[in-house]
Structure 1
Protein backbone atom coordinates (compact mmCIF):
# COMPACT_ATOMS: atom_id res chain seq x y z
CA UNK A 1 0.00 0.00 0.00
CA UNK A 2 1.33 3.43 -0.98
CA UNK A 3 1.10 6.29 1.50
CA UNK A 4 -1.02 8.15 -1.08
CA UNK A 5 -3.58 5.32 -0.92
CA UNK A 6 -4.28 5.79 2.80
CA UNK A 7 -7.39 7.82 3.60
CA UNK A 8 -7.39 10.47 6.31
CA UNK A 9 -10.21 11.93 8.32
CA UNK A 10 -9.92 14.95 10.62
CA UNK A 11 -12.62 15.01 13.31
CA UNK A 12 -13.52 18.42 14.67
CA UNK A 13 -14.29 17.23 18.21
CA UNK A 14 -13.58 14.39 20.58
CA UNK A 15 -17.16 13.13 20.35
CA UNK A 16 -16.92 13.03 16.55
CA UNK A 17 -13.65 11.12 16.78
CA UNK A 18 -15.08 8.56 19.22
CA UNK A 19 -18.16 8.15 17.02
CA UNK A 20 -15.94 7.32 14.05
CA UNK A 21 -13.93 4.80 16.08
CA UNK A 22 -17.18 3.17 17.20
CA UNK A 23 -18.61 2.65 13.73
CA UNK A 24 -15.65 2.11 11.39
CA UNK A 25 -14.67 -1.37 10.25
CA UNK A 26 -11.53 -0.14 8.52
CA UNK A 27 -8.03 -0.63 9.92
CA UNK A 28 -7.13 2.76 11.41
CA UNK A 29 -4.51 4.59 13.46
CA UNK A 30 -4.62 7.84 15.37
CA UNK A 31 -2.28 10.59 14.17
CA UNK A 32 -1.24 13.37 16.55
CA UNK A 33 2.28 14.82 16.24
CA UNK A 34 3.22 12.27 13.58
CA UNK A 35 6.86 11.96 14.70
CA UNK A 36 6.65 8.18 15.13
CA UNK A 37 4.28 7.68 12.20
CA UNK A 38 6.72 9.19 9.71
CA UNK A 39 9.51 6.83 10.78
CA UNK A 40 7.29 3.75 10.86
CA UNK A 41 5.89 4.42 7.38
CA UNK A 42 9.39 4.84 5.97
CA UNK A 43 10.22 1.44 7.46
CA UNK A 44 7.25 -0.08 5.64
CA UNK A 45 5.17 -0.43 8.82
CA UNK A 46 2.05 1.35 10.03
CA UNK A 47 0.02 1.32 6.82
CA UNK A 48 -3.60 1.55 8.04
CA UNK A 49 -6.53 2.04 5.71
CA UNK A 50 -7.42 5.29 7.49
CA UNK A 51 -5.41 7.83 9.47
CA UNK A 52 -7.52 9.58 12.10
CA UNK A 53 -5.94 13.03 12.43
CA UNK A 54 -6.61 14.25 15.99
CA UNK A 55 -3.99 17.00 16.00
CA UNK A 56 -6.58 19.81 16.15
CA UNK A 57 -8.62 18.47 19.07
CA UNK A 58 -7.73 21.35 21.39
CA UNK A 59 -9.84 19.84 24.17
CA UNK A 60 -7.14 17.17 24.57
CA UNK A 61 -4.27 19.62 25.11
CA UNK A 62 -4.02 20.87 28.70
CA UNK A 63 -2.06 20.71 31.96
CA UNK A 64 -4.04 21.43 35.12
CA UNK A 65 -4.26 20.49 38.77
CA UNK A 66 -7.60 19.71 40.34
CA UNK A 67 -8.87 17.57 43.19
CA UNK A 68 -5.32 16.76 44.30
CA UNK A 69 -4.27 15.35 40.95
CA UNK A 70 -2.46 16.68 37.88
CA UNK A 71 -4.31 16.13 34.60
CA UNK A 72 -2.41 16.13 31.30
CA UNK A 73 -4.17 15.96 27.96
CA UNK A 74 -2.80 13.36 25.53
CA UNK A 75 -2.19 16.02 22.87
CA UNK A 76 0.03 18.02 25.22
CA UNK A 77 3.41 18.37 23.52
CA UNK A 78 6.76 17.71 25.12
CA UNK A 79 7.51 21.43 24.81
CA UNK A 80 4.31 22.19 26.74
CA UNK A 81 5.52 19.87 29.50
CA UNK A 82 9.03 21.35 29.62
CA UNK A 83 7.63 24.89 29.88
CA UNK A 84 4.92 24.14 32.46
CA UNK A 85 5.59 25.84 35.85
CA UNK A 86 3.20 23.35 37.49
CA UNK A 87 5.11 20.32 36.21
CA UNK A 88 8.49 21.93 36.91
CA UNK A 89 7.42 22.25 40.53
CA UNK A 90 5.42 19.03 41.03
CA UNK A 91 6.59 16.54 38.36
CA UNK A 92 10.24 17.34 37.72
CA UNK A 93 11.08 13.84 36.49
CA UNK A 94 8.52 14.14 33.67
CA UNK A 95 9.91 17.53 32.66
CA UNK A 96 13.42 16.08 32.46
CA UNK A 97 12.19 13.12 30.39
CA UNK A 98 10.32 15.35 27.93
CA UNK A 99 13.42 17.48 27.54
CA UNK A 100 15.26 14.39 26.26
CA UNK A 101 12.67 13.43 23.61
CA UNK A 102 14.52 14.05 20.35
CA UNK A 103 15.50 17.45 19.03
CA UNK A 104 13.53 20.67 19.61
CA UNK A 105 11.41 20.14 16.50
CA UNK A 106 10.31 16.72 17.79
CA UNK A 107 9.49 18.17 21.19
CA UNK A 108 7.35 20.82 19.50
CA UNK A 109 5.42 18.24 17.46
CA UNK A 110 5.47 15.07 19.56
CA UNK A 111 2.76 14.48 22.15
CA UNK A 112 2.77 12.61 25.44
CA UNK A 113 -0.24 10.57 24.32
CA UNK A 114 1.62 9.53 21.19
CA UNK A 115 4.67 8.53 23.23
CA UNK A 116 2.47 6.32 25.40
CA UNK A 117 0.35 4.93 22.57
CA UNK A 118 3.35 3.88 20.49
CA UNK A 119 4.21 1.56 23.39
CA UNK A 120 7.92 1.51 22.69
CA UNK A 121 9.96 0.04 25.57
CA UNK A 122 12.39 2.90 24.90
CA UNK A 123 9.81 5.70 25.16
CA UNK A 124 11.40 8.42 27.26
CA UNK A 125 8.33 9.74 29.08
CA UNK A 126 7.00 6.31 30.05
CA UNK A 127 9.45 5.47 32.90
CA UNK A 128 8.78 8.94 34.32
CA UNK A 129 5.03 8.26 34.26
CA UNK A 130 5.65 4.92 36.01
CA UNK A 131 7.40 6.58 38.98
CA UNK A 132 4.67 9.24 39.13
CA UNK A 133 1.99 6.56 39.44
CA UNK A 134 0.21 7.63 36.28
CA UNK A 135 -3.33 6.47 35.54
CA UNK A 136 -4.69 6.61 31.99
CA UNK A 137 -8.27 7.52 31.20
CA UNK A 138 -9.33 5.49 28.19
CA UNK A 139 -12.54 6.40 26.39
CA UNK A 140 -14.85 4.93 23.80
CA UNK A 141 -18.09 6.48 22.59
CA UNK A 142 -20.10 4.96 25.43
CA UNK A 143 -17.66 4.21 28.24
CA UNK A 144 -14.61 5.39 30.14
CA UNK A 145 -12.18 3.30 32.14
CA UNK A 146 -9.12 4.08 34.25
CA UNK A 147 -6.02 1.94 33.71
CA UNK A 148 -2.81 2.23 35.80
CA UNK A 149 0.04 2.74 33.39
CA UNK A 150 1.78 -0.42 34.60
CA UNK A 151 -1.21 -2.42 33.34
CA UNK A 152 -1.48 -0.61 30.00
CA UNK A 153 1.40 -2.23 28.09
CA UNK A 154 1.29 -5.89 27.08
CA UNK A 155 4.50 -6.01 25.01
CA UNK A 156 6.55 -4.01 22.51
CA UNK A 157 4.07 -1.91 20.52
CA UNK A 158 1.11 -3.58 22.24
CA UNK A 159 -1.39 -2.17 24.73
CA UNK A 160 -4.79 -2.94 26.24
CA UNK A 161 -6.44 -0.32 24.00
CA UNK A 162 -9.41 -1.65 22.05
CA UNK A 163 -10.01 -0.62 18.45
CA UNK A 164 -12.81 1.79 19.45
CA UNK A 165 -10.84 3.46 22.28
CA UNK A 166 -8.31 6.25 22.75
CA UNK A 167 -6.43 7.87 25.62
CA UNK A 168 -8.31 10.99 26.76
CA UNK A 169 -6.54 11.96 29.99
CA UNK A 170 -3.35 11.21 31.92
CA UNK A 171 -3.51 11.58 35.68
CA UNK A 172 -0.43 11.77 37.89
CA UNK A 173 0.11 12.35 41.59
CA UNK A 174 1.89 15.66 42.26
CA UNK A 175 5.22 15.33 44.01
CA UNK A 176 5.22 16.41 47.65
CA UNK A 177 7.84 18.93 48.90
CA UNK A 178 10.30 16.25 50.04
CA UNK A 179 10.04 14.28 46.79
CA UNK A 180 12.63 14.71 44.05
CA UNK A 181 13.08 12.99 40.73
CA UNK A 182 15.51 12.61 37.87
CA UNK A 183 15.59 11.08 34.39
CA UNK A 184 18.78 9.63 32.91
CA UNK A 185 19.21 8.54 29.29
CA UNK A 186 21.91 6.87 27.24
CA UNK A 187 21.64 7.24 23.48
CA UNK A 188 24.05 7.21 20.53
CA UNK A 189 23.69 10.99 20.19
CA UNK A 190 22.54 13.25 22.98
CA UNK A 191 18.82 14.09 22.74
CA UNK A 192 18.62 12.99 19.11
CA UNK A 193 17.90 9.28 19.11
CA UNK A 194 16.15 6.30 20.66
CA UNK A 195 17.39 5.40 24.12
CA UNK A 196 19.77 2.49 24.51
CA UNK A 197 18.87 2.59 28.21
CA UNK A 198 16.92 5.09 30.28
CA UNK A 199 15.86 5.31 33.90
CA UNK A 200 13.48 7.45 35.96
CA UNK A 201 13.96 7.79 39.72
CA UNK A 202 11.73 9.41 42.33
CA UNK A 203 12.77 9.60 45.99
CA UNK A 204 10.95 10.77 49.13
CA UNK A 205 13.68 12.18 51.33
CA UNK A 206 13.80 13.09 55.01
CA UNK A 207 16.63 14.49 57.12
CA UNK A 208 20.17 14.07 55.85
CA UNK A 209 20.55 11.27 53.32
CA UNK A 210 17.67 9.19 54.67
CA UNK A 211 15.00 8.11 52.21
CA UNK A 212 11.43 7.14 53.12
CA UNK A 213 11.11 5.22 49.86
CA UNK A 214 10.99 5.74 46.15
CA UNK A 215 10.37 4.33 42.70
CA UNK A 216 12.78 3.31 39.94
CA UNK A 217 11.72 2.47 36.38
CA UNK A 218 13.97 1.40 33.50
CA UNK A 219 13.25 1.70 29.80
CA UNK A 220 14.76 -0.12 26.79
CA UNK A 221 15.88 -3.07 28.94
CA UNK A 222 12.86 -5.35 28.59
CA UNK A 223 9.71 -5.94 26.53
CA UNK A 224 8.01 -3.20 28.55
CA UNK A 225 9.15 -0.74 31.22
CA UNK A 226 10.70 -2.49 34.24
CA UNK A 227 10.05 -1.37 37.81
CA UNK A 228 13.21 -2.17 39.79
CA UNK A 229 11.40 -3.24 42.95
CA UNK A 230 14.38 -4.99 44.55
CA UNK A 231 16.38 -1.78 44.17
CA UNK A 232 13.46 0.21 45.56
CA UNK A 233 13.31 -1.99 48.66
CA UNK A 234 16.89 -0.98 49.55
CA UNK A 235 16.30 2.77 49.33
CA UNK A 236 15.00 3.02 52.90
CA UNK A 237 17.49 0.58 54.47
CA UNK A 238 19.68 3.39 55.77
CA UNK A 239 21.27 6.66 54.70
CA UNK A 240 22.09 6.73 51.00
CA UNK A 241 25.82 6.45 51.46
CA UNK A 242 28.25 5.66 48.67
CA UNK A 243 28.29 1.98 49.66
CA UNK A 244 24.50 1.64 49.67
CA UNK A 245 24.14 3.45 46.34
CA UNK A 246 26.71 1.16 44.74
CA UNK A 247 24.95 -1.90 46.16
CA UNK A 248 21.61 -0.74 44.77
CA UNK A 249 23.21 -0.22 41.37
CA UNK A 250 24.60 -3.77 41.42
CA UNK A 251 21.11 -5.15 42.09
CA UNK A 252 19.83 -3.26 39.03
CA UNK A 253 22.18 -5.31 36.82
CA UNK A 254 20.14 -8.40 37.76
CA UNK A 255 16.68 -6.80 37.61
CA UNK A 256 16.71 -5.64 34.00
CA UNK A 257 16.03 -8.04 31.12
CA UNK A 258 17.63 -6.54 27.99
CA UNK A 259 18.17 -8.13 24.61
CA UNK A 260 21.00 -7.77 22.12
CA UNK A 261 20.09 -5.82 18.99
CA UNK A 262 21.75 -3.56 16.42
CA UNK A 263 22.08 -0.73 18.95
CA UNK A 264 23.67 -2.56 21.91
CA UNK A 265 24.39 -5.95 23.47
CA UNK A 266 22.43 -7.21 26.44
CA UNK A 267 25.53 -7.10 28.65
CA UNK A 268 26.25 -3.50 27.70
CA UNK A 269 22.68 -2.53 28.50
CA UNK A 270 22.92 -4.20 31.91
CA UNK A 271 26.16 -2.35 32.65
CA UNK A 272 24.68 0.97 31.56
CA UNK A 273 21.46 0.45 33.51
CA UNK A 274 23.54 -0.04 36.65
CA UNK A 275 25.73 2.97 35.85
CA UNK A 276 22.79 5.28 35.05
CA UNK A 277 21.04 4.36 38.29
CA UNK A 278 24.18 4.95 40.35
CA UNK A 279 24.81 8.30 38.66
CA UNK A 280 21.18 9.33 39.07
CA UNK A 281 21.12 8.53 42.78
CA UNK A 282 24.32 10.53 43.36
CA UNK A 283 22.87 13.49 41.50
CA UNK A 284 19.62 13.34 43.46
CA UNK A 285 21.49 13.28 46.78
CA UNK A 286 23.54 16.32 45.76
CA UNK A 287 20.37 18.09 44.63
CA UNK A 288 18.68 17.30 47.97
CA UNK A 289 21.66 18.47 50.03
CA UNK A 290 21.90 21.72 48.05
CA UNK A 291 18.28 22.68 48.57
Structure 2
Protein backbone atom coordinates (compact mmCIF):
# COMPACT_ATOMS: atom_id res chain seq x y z
CA UNK A 1 0.00 0.00 0.00
CA UNK A 2 1.42 3.36 -1.01
CA UNK A 3 0.98 6.56 0.99
CA UNK A 4 -1.01 8.03 -1.91
CA UNK A 5 -3.63 5.27 -1.52
CA UNK A 6 -4.53 6.34 2.02
CA UNK A 7 -7.20 8.82 3.05
CA UNK A 8 -6.41 11.81 5.25
CA UNK A 9 -9.00 13.38 7.53
CA UNK A 10 -8.33 16.75 9.22
CA UNK A 11 -10.86 17.60 11.96
CA UNK A 12 -11.14 21.22 13.06
CA UNK A 13 -12.27 20.52 16.65
CA UNK A 14 -11.63 17.83 19.26
CA UNK A 15 -15.35 17.01 19.35
CA UNK A 16 -15.35 16.48 15.59
CA UNK A 17 -12.30 14.22 15.87
CA UNK A 18 -13.85 12.13 18.66
CA UNK A 19 -17.08 11.77 16.70
CA UNK A 20 -15.12 10.55 13.68
CA UNK A 21 -13.23 8.01 15.82
CA UNK A 22 -16.54 6.82 17.25
CA UNK A 23 -18.33 6.43 13.90
CA UNK A 24 -15.58 5.36 11.51
CA UNK A 25 -15.27 1.61 10.92
CA UNK A 26 -12.10 1.72 8.82
CA UNK A 27 -8.73 1.40 10.54
CA UNK A 28 -7.35 4.80 11.47
CA UNK A 29 -4.31 6.33 13.09
CA UNK A 30 -3.87 9.72 14.75
CA UNK A 31 -1.11 11.87 13.30
CA UNK A 32 0.38 14.63 15.47
CA UNK A 33 3.96 15.60 14.63
CA UNK A 34 4.44 12.52 12.47
CA UNK A 35 8.11 12.14 13.45
CA UNK A 36 7.56 8.53 14.46
CA UNK A 37 4.33 7.48 12.74
CA UNK A 38 5.46 8.04 9.16
CA UNK A 39 8.77 6.28 9.76
CA UNK A 40 6.98 3.27 11.23
CA UNK A 41 4.57 3.18 8.31
CA UNK A 42 7.42 3.16 5.81
CA UNK A 43 9.00 0.31 7.75
CA UNK A 44 5.73 -1.59 7.49
CA UNK A 45 4.75 -1.60 11.15
CA UNK A 46 1.31 -0.12 10.56
CA UNK A 47 -0.50 1.23 7.55
CA UNK A 48 -3.98 2.46 8.47
CA UNK A 49 -6.68 3.09 5.91
CA UNK A 50 -7.17 6.60 7.25
CA UNK A 51 -4.73 9.06 8.81
CA UNK A 52 -6.36 11.58 11.16
CA UNK A 53 -4.34 14.79 11.02
CA UNK A 54 -4.49 16.64 14.36
CA UNK A 55 -2.50 19.72 13.34
CA UNK A 56 -5.57 21.99 13.18
CA UNK A 57 -6.55 21.24 16.78
CA UNK A 58 -4.90 24.24 18.44
CA UNK A 59 -7.04 23.64 21.53
CA UNK A 60 -4.76 20.67 22.31
CA UNK A 61 -1.59 22.78 22.33
CA UNK A 62 -1.21 24.52 25.69
CA UNK A 63 0.79 24.76 28.92
CA UNK A 64 -1.03 26.11 31.97
CA UNK A 65 -1.09 25.76 35.74
CA UNK A 66 -4.17 24.88 37.79
CA UNK A 67 -4.88 23.80 41.36
CA UNK A 68 -4.37 20.11 40.55
CA UNK A 69 -1.12 20.55 38.63
CA UNK A 70 0.42 21.76 35.40
CA UNK A 71 -1.65 20.91 32.33
CA UNK A 72 0.08 20.22 29.03
CA UNK A 73 -1.80 19.65 25.79
CA UNK A 74 -0.88 16.54 23.80
CA UNK A 75 -0.04 18.64 20.73
CA UNK A 76 2.45 20.71 22.71
CA UNK A 77 5.80 20.33 20.96
CA UNK A 78 9.11 19.62 22.62
CA UNK A 79 10.24 23.09 21.58
CA UNK A 80 7.20 24.54 23.38
CA UNK A 81 8.26 22.65 26.51
CA UNK A 82 11.89 23.76 26.31
CA UNK A 83 10.87 27.42 25.92
CA UNK A 84 8.20 27.40 28.66
CA UNK A 85 9.24 29.52 31.66
CA UNK A 86 6.65 27.73 33.80
CA UNK A 87 8.16 24.32 33.04
CA UNK A 88 11.71 25.63 33.39
CA UNK A 89 10.81 26.71 36.92
CA UNK A 90 8.57 23.84 38.01
CA UNK A 91 9.37 20.84 35.78
CA UNK A 92 13.05 21.08 34.91
CA UNK A 93 13.39 17.32 34.38
CA UNK A 94 10.77 17.40 31.60
CA UNK A 95 12.48 20.39 29.97
CA UNK A 96 15.75 18.48 30.06
CA UNK A 97 14.15 15.42 28.46
CA UNK A 98 12.48 17.43 25.68
CA UNK A 99 15.79 19.10 24.94
CA UNK A 100 17.25 15.65 24.19
CA UNK A 101 14.52 14.53 21.76
CA UNK A 102 16.47 14.36 18.53
CA UNK A 103 17.59 17.40 16.58
CA UNK A 104 15.91 20.81 16.74
CA UNK A 105 13.81 19.95 13.70
CA UNK A 106 12.34 16.93 15.53
CA UNK A 107 11.73 19.02 18.64
CA UNK A 108 9.81 21.52 16.52
CA UNK A 109 7.56 18.80 15.07
CA UNK A 110 7.36 16.10 17.74
CA UNK A 111 4.67 16.34 20.42
CA UNK A 112 4.36 15.18 24.00
CA UNK A 113 1.15 13.30 23.22
CA UNK A 114 2.80 11.58 20.29
CA UNK A 115 5.68 10.44 22.50
CA UNK A 116 3.17 8.93 24.92
CA UNK A 117 0.97 7.26 22.31
CA UNK A 118 3.96 5.73 20.53
CA UNK A 119 4.74 4.03 23.86
CA UNK A 120 8.37 3.29 23.08
CA UNK A 121 10.35 2.14 26.15
CA UNK A 122 13.08 4.46 24.84
CA UNK A 123 10.83 7.55 24.67
CA UNK A 124 12.81 10.38 26.26
CA UNK A 125 9.98 12.34 27.85
CA UNK A 126 8.25 9.33 29.40
CA UNK A 127 10.65 8.72 32.36
CA UNK A 128 10.42 12.45 33.13
CA UNK A 129 6.63 12.20 33.23
CA UNK A 130 6.91 9.23 35.59
CA UNK A 131 8.94 11.14 38.17
CA UNK A 132 6.51 14.08 37.93
CA UNK A 133 3.56 11.80 38.77
CA UNK A 134 1.87 12.48 35.45
CA UNK A 135 -1.75 11.60 34.78
CA UNK A 136 -3.13 11.12 31.28
CA UNK A 137 -6.58 12.40 30.37
CA UNK A 138 -8.21 10.11 27.80
CA UNK A 139 -11.34 11.15 25.93
CA UNK A 140 -13.86 9.40 23.72
CA UNK A 141 -17.04 10.80 22.19
CA UNK A 142 -19.12 9.72 25.20
CA UNK A 143 -16.63 9.57 28.05
CA UNK A 144 -13.53 11.04 29.69
CA UNK A 145 -11.17 9.47 32.22
CA UNK A 146 -7.83 10.15 33.89
CA UNK A 147 -5.22 7.39 34.12
CA UNK A 148 -1.98 7.45 36.17
CA UNK A 149 0.98 7.16 33.83
CA UNK A 150 2.11 3.81 35.28
CA UNK A 151 -1.27 2.35 34.22
CA UNK A 152 -1.20 3.90 30.75
CA UNK A 153 1.39 1.56 29.19
CA UNK A 154 0.71 -2.15 28.78
CA UNK A 155 3.90 -3.14 26.92
CA UNK A 156 6.31 -2.02 24.21
CA UNK A 157 4.31 0.10 21.76
CA UNK A 158 1.05 -0.65 23.60
CA UNK A 159 -1.21 1.52 25.77
CA UNK A 160 -4.70 1.38 27.25
CA UNK A 161 -5.97 3.65 24.45
CA UNK A 162 -8.91 2.17 22.52
CA UNK A 163 -9.62 2.76 18.85
CA UNK A 164 -12.17 5.51 19.61
CA UNK A 165 -10.05 7.31 22.24
CA UNK A 166 -7.36 9.98 22.22
CA UNK A 167 -5.17 11.81 24.72
CA UNK A 168 -6.59 15.26 25.49
CA UNK A 169 -4.47 16.41 28.45
CA UNK A 170 -1.34 15.53 30.44
CA UNK A 171 -1.27 16.67 34.08
CA UNK A 172 2.00 16.76 36.01
CA UNK A 173 2.77 17.76 39.58
CA UNK A 174 4.93 20.92 39.79
CA UNK A 175 8.22 20.79 41.62
CA UNK A 176 8.47 22.69 44.88
CA UNK A 177 11.24 25.15 45.72
CA UNK A 178 13.24 22.38 47.36
CA UNK A 179 12.91 19.96 44.42
CA UNK A 180 15.38 19.45 41.59
CA UNK A 181 15.37 17.12 38.63
CA UNK A 182 17.58 15.95 35.81
CA UNK A 183 17.40 13.79 32.70
CA UNK A 184 20.37 11.78 31.49
CA UNK A 185 20.58 9.94 28.17
CA UNK A 186 23.00 7.64 26.40
CA UNK A 187 22.64 7.41 22.63
CA UNK A 188 24.87 6.49 19.67
CA UNK A 189 25.04 10.12 18.61
CA UNK A 190 24.58 13.12 20.88
CA UNK A 191 20.96 14.33 20.93
CA UNK A 192 20.22 12.83 17.53
CA UNK A 193 19.11 9.28 18.19
CA UNK A 194 17.02 6.80 20.14
CA UNK A 195 18.25 6.23 23.69
CA UNK A 196 20.29 3.17 24.49
CA UNK A 197 19.51 3.98 28.13
CA UNK A 198 17.96 7.02 29.78
CA UNK A 199 17.04 8.02 33.31
CA UNK A 200 14.97 10.75 34.95
CA UNK A 201 15.56 11.77 38.56
CA UNK A 202 13.53 14.08 40.78
CA UNK A 203 14.64 14.82 44.36
CA UNK A 204 13.01 16.62 47.26
CA UNK A 205 15.78 18.05 49.40
CA UNK A 206 15.90 18.88 53.12
CA UNK A 207 17.54 21.67 55.09
CA UNK A 208 20.69 19.75 56.06
CA UNK A 209 23.60 19.45 53.60
CA UNK A 210 22.73 17.03 50.79
CA UNK A 211 19.78 15.69 52.78
CA UNK A 212 17.22 14.00 50.51
CA UNK A 213 13.70 13.70 51.93
CA UNK A 214 12.33 11.67 49.02
CA UNK A 215 13.08 10.96 45.40
CA UNK A 216 11.87 9.30 42.24
CA UNK A 217 14.02 7.52 39.66
CA UNK A 218 12.71 6.17 36.34
CA UNK A 219 14.74 4.32 33.69
CA UNK A 220 13.89 4.06 30.01
CA UNK A 221 15.06 1.59 27.36
CA UNK A 222 15.96 -1.05 29.96
CA UNK A 223 12.68 -2.99 30.06
CA UNK A 224 9.37 -3.54 28.25
CA UNK A 225 8.10 -0.29 29.77
CA UNK A 226 9.57 2.39 32.02
CA UNK A 227 11.11 1.00 35.22
CA UNK A 228 10.81 2.83 38.53
CA UNK A 229 13.90 2.08 40.60
CA UNK A 230 12.18 1.62 43.96
CA UNK A 231 15.20 0.21 45.82
CA UNK A 232 17.39 3.10 44.71
CA UNK A 233 14.64 5.53 45.70
CA UNK A 234 14.57 4.14 49.23
CA UNK A 235 18.36 4.44 49.48
CA UNK A 236 18.20 8.16 48.67
CA UNK A 237 16.98 8.97 52.18
CA UNK A 238 19.43 6.84 54.19
CA UNK A 239 21.93 9.66 54.65
CA UNK A 240 23.62 12.62 52.95
CA UNK A 241 24.12 12.12 49.22
CA UNK A 242 27.89 12.17 49.36
CA UNK A 243 30.30 10.32 47.06
CA UNK A 244 29.93 6.96 48.81
CA UNK A 245 26.14 7.12 49.02
CA UNK A 246 25.82 8.01 45.34
CA UNK A 247 28.07 5.12 44.32
CA UNK A 248 26.06 2.68 46.46
CA UNK A 249 22.76 3.87 45.01
CA UNK A 250 24.05 3.67 41.46
CA UNK A 251 25.37 0.18 42.10
CA UNK A 252 21.93 -1.01 43.19
CA UNK A 253 20.41 0.10 39.90
CA UNK A 254 22.22 -2.70 38.11
CA UNK A 255 19.88 -5.25 39.73
CA UNK A 256 16.62 -3.37 39.10
CA UNK A 257 16.68 -2.86 35.35
CA UNK A 258 15.63 -5.59 32.91
CA UNK A 259 17.24 -4.77 29.55
CA UNK A 260 17.44 -6.91 26.43
CA UNK A 261 20.20 -7.14 23.84
CA UNK A 262 19.56 -5.58 20.44
CA UNK A 263 21.44 -3.78 17.67
CA UNK A 264 21.93 -0.71 19.88
CA UNK A 265 23.49 -2.46 22.86
CA UNK A 266 23.77 -5.68 24.84
CA UNK A 267 21.82 -6.28 28.05
CA UNK A 268 25.07 -6.28 30.07
CA UNK A 269 26.13 -2.97 28.55
CA UNK A 270 22.74 -1.40 29.27
CA UNK A 271 22.89 -2.52 32.90
CA UNK A 272 26.30 -0.94 33.32
CA UNK A 273 25.22 2.27 31.63
CA UNK A 274 22.06 2.49 33.75
CA UNK A 275 24.25 2.57 36.86
CA UNK A 276 26.67 5.04 35.26
CA UNK A 277 23.92 7.42 34.14
CA UNK A 278 22.30 7.36 37.58
CA UNK A 279 25.62 8.10 39.25
CA UNK A 280 26.34 10.96 36.84
CA UNK A 281 22.85 12.38 37.29
CA UNK A 282 23.03 12.33 41.09
CA UNK A 283 26.46 13.96 41.05
CA UNK A 284 25.20 16.76 38.79
CA UNK A 285 22.11 17.29 40.93
CA UNK A 286 24.19 17.58 44.09
CA UNK A 287 26.54 20.05 42.41
CA UNK A 288 23.56 22.18 41.44
CA UNK A 289 22.09 21.92 44.93
CA UNK A 290 25.41 22.85 46.58
CA UNK A 291 25.59 25.98 44.41
CA UNK A 292 22.18 27.24 45.52
TM over 0.5: yes
Alpha-carbon deviation of 1:68? 4.2
Take 1:162 and 1:34, find their aligned partners in 2: how far apart are those partners?
Answer: 20
Normalised TM-score (structure 1): 0.99
**Aligned 1:258-277 pairs, distance under 5 A:** 258-277=259-278
* Contact 1:93–1:128, Cα closer than 8 Å, also in 2: yes
Take 1:56 and 1:251, find their aligned partners in 2: how far apart are those partners?
Answer: 47
- The SS at the match of 1:59 is helix
Take 1:209 and 1:219, find their aligned partners in 2: how far apart are those partners?
Answer: 26
**Aligned 1:167-206 pairs, distance under 5 A:** 167-206=167-206
Alpha-carbon deviation of 1:55? 1.2
Take 1:208 and 1:62, find their aligned partners in 2: how far apart are those partners?
Answer: 38
Alpha-carbon deviation of 1:67? 1.3
After superposition, what is the alpha-carbon deviation per residue over 1:72-109, rounded to whole angstroms, capped at 9, x for unaligned? 00000000000000000000000000000000000000
Take 1:181 and 1:56, find their aligned partners in 2: how far apart are those partners?
Answer: 33
Alpha-carbon deviation of 1:42? 2.1
Alpha-carbon deviation of 1:38? 2.1
Unaligned runs of 5+ in 1: none
> Is 1:126 aligned to residue 126 of structure 2?
yes
Greater CA deviation, 118-127 or 21-30?
A: 21-30
After superposition, what is the alpha-carbon deviation per residue over 1:17-52, rounded to whole angstroms, capped at 9, x for unaligned? 000001111111100100001211221222001100
Alpha-carbon deviation of 1:2? 1.5
**Aligned 1:1-20 pairs, distance under 5 A:** 1-20=1-20
Residue number in structure 2 paired with 1:216: 217
* Contact 1:214–1:232, Cα closer than 8 Å, also in 2: yes
Unaligned runs of 5+ in 2: none
Which portions of structure 1, spanning 4 or more consecutive aligned residues, are displaced by more than 4 angstroms?
A: none
Take 1:283 and 1:68, find their aligned partners in 2: how far apart are those partners?
Answer: 30
Q: Provide the aligned C-alpha RMSD in A.
A: 0.6
* Contact 1:68–1:174, Cα closer than 8 Å, also in 2: no
Residue number in structure 1 paired with 2:282: 281
Take 2:68 and 2:175, find their aligned partners in 1: how far apart are those partners?
Answer: 11
- The SS at the match of 1:108 is helix
Count of paired positions = 291
> Is 1:246 aligned to residue 241 of structure 2?
no
- The SS at the match of 1:257 is coil
Normalised TM-score (structure 2): 0.99
